[in-house]
Amino acid sequence: VFGDRDLVEVAPRRSRATVLQILAAIVAQNQALGVGRGLVSAPAMLNTALDHARRRAAHDAAVIVISDFDGADAATRETVTALARHNDVIAVLVHDPLQSDLPPSASMTVTDGELQIRLDVGRDSVRKSVSQVTQDRLKGIFAWTHELGIPVLPLSAAEDTPAQLRRLLGGLPTRHGRTAAHSQTGAALG
């Protein structure tokens, strides 16, 4: 689990404690976000985390990268390609659809964690520029599916996460907290 300041490694184990440890690390990274906290955006942390995963992942490991992929560059592609050479890699691209479809009559404040600037996205040229940069970044990551053979799953910040994951991973709607596939397995096993 990584953020703009650090990387936290959680040893892969099949246990409730490990899941809770991962969730606690995510919460801690999320709470570190925000203007005025002295946290400056560090896009290079993506490559640092991926390189760390590349060194730690054994052959035939499942490597799931959940990120907005801010800072993805040629080195990112090389590291992801190296990871995928001997492992199963899935990229989950977290994105905010508002960045590609900004409202025409709004203004917004953007920050790098230290400095802020107010953008008048009501101006057509500003709105189109922000949208284009966002769309180009997303297209570059989605292209990994065809170019690198790595599934890239879109995860919208504007929708319910569990429902999206069920849809993306092929699950059916839940009933009583279990997917239809689990219910059928349970019925078949008695």
Kindly calculate the radius of gyration of the chain based on its CA atoms and give it in whole angstroms: 19
Question: Residue 117 is inside which H or E element, if any?
Answer: strand 116-119
Is 148 part of a structural domain of the chain? yes
Domain that holds residue 162: 34-174
Is 45 part of a structural domain of the chain? yes
Cα–Cα nearest to 65, from 42, 81, 49, 48: 49
Is 60 part of a structural domain of the chain? yes
User: How confident is the model over 129-162, as pLDDT tens digits?
Assistant: 888 888 888 999 999 999 999 999 999 988 988 8
Is 9 part of a structural domain of the chain? no
Cα–Cα nearest to 124, from 139, 110, 138, 104: 104
Q: pTM to 2 decimals?
A: 0.76
Does 185 score more than 60 pLDDT?
no
Number of domains in the chain: 1
DSSP label at 57?
A: P
Q: Please report the sign of the dihedral spanned by the C-alpha atoms of residue 79, residue 81, residue 86, residue 87.
A: positive
Q: Distance between CA atoms of 167 and 161, rounded to whole angstroms?
A: 10
